[in-house]
Amino acid sequence: MKGLRSASPALLWLLPFVVVFTAFQLAPLAWVAISAFRVDEGWGLGHFHEIAASPFFRQAIGRSLEISLISSLLGLAIAGLTCHSLAHTRGPLRRWMVAFTNMTSNFAGVPLAFAFIILMGANGVLTLALQRLGIIEDFNLYSKAGLIIIYTWFQIPLGVLLLFPALAGLRTEWQEAASLLGAGRLAYWRHIGLPVLWPALLGTLTILIANAMGAYATVYALVNTSYNLMTIRIANLVSGDLFLQPNLASALALILVLLLAMVTLIQQWLLRRSYHVAER
At 121 the pLDDT is 83
At 280 the pLDDT is 42
Whole-angstrom Cα distance, residue 163 to residue 186?
20
Closest CA to 67 of 175, 216, 178, 242: 216
Inter-axis angle of helices 55-87 and 144-168, to 10 degrees? 40
pTM score, two decimals? 0.84
Whole-angstrom Cα distance, residue 25 to residue 45?
24
Given a contact cutoff of 8 angstroms between Cβ atoms, the answer to whether 45 and 51 are in contact is: no
At 278 the pLDDT is 45
Listed as ranges, residues in the chain with pLDDT below 50 are 275-280
Whole-angstrom Cα distance, residue 142 to residue 144?
7
At 279 the pLDDT is 44
Using alpha carbons, list the distances in angstroms from residue 160 to 43, 72, 87, 112, 260: 45, 12, 11, 18, 21
Whole-angstrom Cα distance, residue 220 to residue 226?
9
At 59 the pLDDT is 93
